[in-house]
Structure 1
């Protein structure tokens, strides 16, 4: 006998849990089906290295969660979430061991970039003033389906025509171009370019500027906060809130099929063969190719959508190394010791070569490292006097790793740290190396080690994400919603795709829902008709 609920949410990562909370708040009977043994997706914590060392298995720092109107609306502090900060948000280490630092104290950041060019202090102040002026309408626009009509109009009124046109230009620019236009010295330029490396975009890729600029400004504004006790505390808070609202999570229940009838999603089957009927909606947080090519019959979808999926572009693969260190990293430059997030890997030209290697299918000779000093950010992460730390770097998706190649590559990553922190390798008590396949094993959505469910390149953003279409959670199947990072506004932990999917489901089920669906159907017909 099948089970029946109002909504089935596929996946208990942050987007799935956000969506489930919003539906439960509306009084829906919600069941979240998770493939893994525990909820969390890419947001979880475990002792990967040594006893007493709490390692964030995948994601770690959450500036977008800190400003997300979705996350903030859930009042997760009432369910145990506490944000912690390192003394400095970020340090970018140059080849000569100088570092550019972003601190939540504006004067500290200004002093740092002035060391590279005196005029960059005022330029950074001007940039942050501009961001502060547009922050609220910009953030609200970012987390709404595209086009964000109301928030977009507020942003347009805030910026005016002249600044609005210049901001639109920024959105399309390579980060190297933006950095060279706005700043004179290498420090401020690399703070922008290094932050763009949180995506799969190189310094000369169109669209990389907005990512680097936004993350740099958020680092200045809210820092790069971490949940006290580990990333998994964010998952626990979301799960506890859902339980209080009456929602349920059931793990070890991977969904193998989404069922349809009359063009509507009506339920799912899990890996055990159990069927769950969905009276109102199915929300899927899996990558778009997984939903459309694996969970649905091709007869349920427009042929043009299936053809478009053949051109879906993934982001790069990822290799991650976690360490248990018997003392803090012995940086040659003591300023780096204060930063929770550290960027290592050269100057602007070095970043360009790194991406050229990946684009050519080569494992980078000089990889860029994104590093986390977790105990520096949150002293609950490891025993007193020690450090829980990690690095990750992007690698070609098509490269095939084995145990030996991963071990040797991890040694190379440690050598990069050692160059800037002599004696670092001597601090390592234990380590855990995860290649692309290991990351996918932890979270099945990270196919090929891609952590953003699709490239951040401009040709796959906004109404091009995941394929040319509506840039909404709605799909061509009525009452089926794409709620994961393949949907706008994309990757990172902020709950945007999950919230957009939940709101679309509520609107479809509410008064005027048939008219809403008719509009969506006409738009889908226009986009996908051959």
Structure 2
């Protein structure tokens, strides 16, 4: 039995669902195939710890989803999505001084960082004003398929060449250097460096300044919101919107192969023997390695691309823990209690040691942790008076992560929490641990427990993402598009890769042979 639709989308993560919605908006028949029993990929919610505690299976905070991103432009409030915010956005906990706290009120953020060094508050406000002047253009560049000629041109015209050159420098600076250039004290420096470490880019690595500034400024402007009721609510809104436009999602449908004929993607075969014909396009919200090395027949791809696919570098592996707590975390510093997101475990020197340990393949002795106080953000996440705590840290990639090794990491994480929140252990009602292998088993896109679809290092960005080539969603197979975080502009729940893939599919359909010939010519240059 064969089903025939305009487009088959593999994967129902946010990128796959954004792509499907945009194609459905254009009047296409769209079918999304999801191997798991429920939609969402890394954007799902379940009772992982204890009854009444709603835990986000992977991602939890969504600064991009409320700003000017593809996912934000879908009008998901009309489909039931509601956002919640903690009283404060982010706190970076310090061992021997008050926490640095980022609030949606810029003056409160300025007051916090000014406590570390007089004048840093005004410097923070100046940095934020810089962001406000260029934010719309920067995000337009980020979410435009590569190369973003028009968007980049508009940015240069708005800022002038001199300012644009210095903005480019800011984006490629290490975040440690950016912090040292802009601020005197550690407070603002820690906020920037901690935000950069949401990726696998350390304080001394190129482009960390861009990531740290971008995420910190998004937090300043939009906060780090969470969907009311859990991350699954974001997925549910995307699915509801898609179905309202005639699209469908089939769960339990594991894509096993992409059928290629005469250089063109013809459809998708699933593990249960089903065949879905794609009249116009196949879009793959899967890791790049899975697409090029598993799903597509090797004789349909250039040898150079196959060789490059074996060299794709993943971002760091992850250990994630959810705790059900009997009450709020007993922070030593009361200011931390109001923050939705907490950066925990290291001063500036410690962040450098943490990144160096990961680079050397060692488990950091003192893990840097990103924590989410989800009941503080959204009281519906747990029974009244309790807290649902979401936490992860990065670890090196290894051939295997046995339970004993994962538990050693968790013990270090709990020791850090006890250090900064004495009595934490006494509040624990239950916990759920997911090591690197567990995360990949839950979602195959999290290869080796990596959250970002590939390293955020400059060696794998723009036209180098995921391999040297176009930097676009198009692949060497006609009408096949990479729609996952492995593609430009990379990780983050913003829908950028999915939107780019949908735009490419629509352009190929609109311009036909002319578009196909241009992509073939570009592929010959990239892959020989």
TM-score by length of structure 2 reads 0.99
What is the CA–CA distance in structure 2 between the aligned matches of 1:40 and 1:341, rounded to whole Å?
22
What is the CA–CA distance in structure 1 between the aligned matches of 2:153 and 2:94, rounded to whole Å?
41
What is the CA–CA distance in structure 1 between the aligned matches of 2:105 and 2:32, rounded to whole Å?
41
What is the CA–CA distance in structure 2 between the aligned matches of 1:286 and 1:468, rounded to whole Å?
18
Kindly report which structure 2 residues correspond to 1:351-500, keeping only aligned pairs within 5 A, or say none. Answer: 351-398=351-398, 400-500=400-500
User: Could you say what secondary structure the match of 2:379 adopts?
Assistant: coil
Q: Does 1:41 align with 2:50?
A: no
What is the CA–CA distance in structure 2 between the aligned matches of 1:203 and 1:94, rounded to whole Å?
17
What is the CA–CA distance in structure 1 between the aligned matches of 2:512 and 2:339, rounded to whole Å?
49
In the alignment, which residue of structure 1 is the partner of 2:518?
A: 519
Kindly report which structure 2 residues correspond to 1:110-509, keeping only aligned pairs within 5 A, or say none. Answer: 110-398=110-398, 400-509=400-509
User: Could you say what secondary structure the match of 1:481 adopts?
Assistant: strand
Query: How far has the Cα of 1:403 moved from its partner?
Result: 2.1
Query: How far has the Cα of 1:98 moved from its partner?
Result: 2.0
Contact persistence 2:400–2:437 (CA under 8 A): no
Query: How far has the Cα of 1:310 moved from its partner?
Result: 2.4
Query: What residue ranges of structure 1 are gaps of 5+ in the alignment?
Result: none
Deviates more, 1:89-98 or 1:129-138: 89-98
What is the CA–CA distance in structure 1 between the aligned matches of 2:348 and 2:400, rounded to whole Å?
28
What is the CA–CA distance in structure 2 between the aligned matches of 1:464 and 1:475, rounded to whole Å?
13
Contact persistence 1:113–1:188 (CA under 8 A): yes
RMSD: 0.9
User: Could you say what secondary structure the match of 2:91 adopts?
Assistant: strand
Query: How far has the Cα of 1:65 moved from its partner?
Result: 1.4
What is the CA–CA distance in structure 1 between the aligned matches of 2:109 and 2:279, rounded to whole Å?
53
What is the CA–CA distance in structure 2 between the aligned matches of 1:69 and 1:325, rounded to whole Å?
34
What is the CA–CA distance in structure 2 between the aligned matches of 1:192 and 1:11, rounded to whole Å?
33
Contact persistence 2:69–2:495 (CA under 8 A): no
Query: What residue ranges of structure 2 are gaps of 5+ in the alignment?
Result: none
User: How many residue pairs end up in the alignment?
Assistant: 528
Query: How far has the Cα of 1:255 moved from its partner?
Result: 0.5
Query: How far has the Cα of 1:498 moved from its partner?
Result: 0.3
Q: For 1:238-292, what per-residue CA distance to the aligned partner results, in whole angstroms no more than 9, with x for missing partners?
A: 0001110100000111101001111100011001011111000000011111100
In the alignment, which residue of structure 2 is the partner of 1:69?
A: 69
Query: How far has the Cα of 1:97 moved from its partner?
Result: 4.7
Q: For 1:313-356, what per-residue CA distance to the aligned partner results, in whole angstroms no more than 9, with x for missing partners?
A: 11010000000000000111110001000001211111111111
TM-score by length of structure 1 reads 0.98
What is the CA–CA distance in structure 2 between the aligned matches of 1:121 and 1:409, rounded to whole Å?
36
What is the CA–CA distance in structure 2 between the aligned matches of 1:471 and 1:285, rounded to whole Å?
16
User: Could you say what secondary structure the match of 2:380 adopts?
Assistant: coil
Contact persistence 1:361–1:399 (CA under 8 A): no
Contact persistence 2:418–2:424 (CA under 8 A): yes
What is the CA–CA distance in structure 2 between the aligned matches of 1:82 and 1:263, rounded to whole Å?
44
Query: How far has the Cα of 1:155 moved from its partner?
Result: 1.0
Query: How far has the Cα of 1:69 moved from its partner?
Result: 2.9
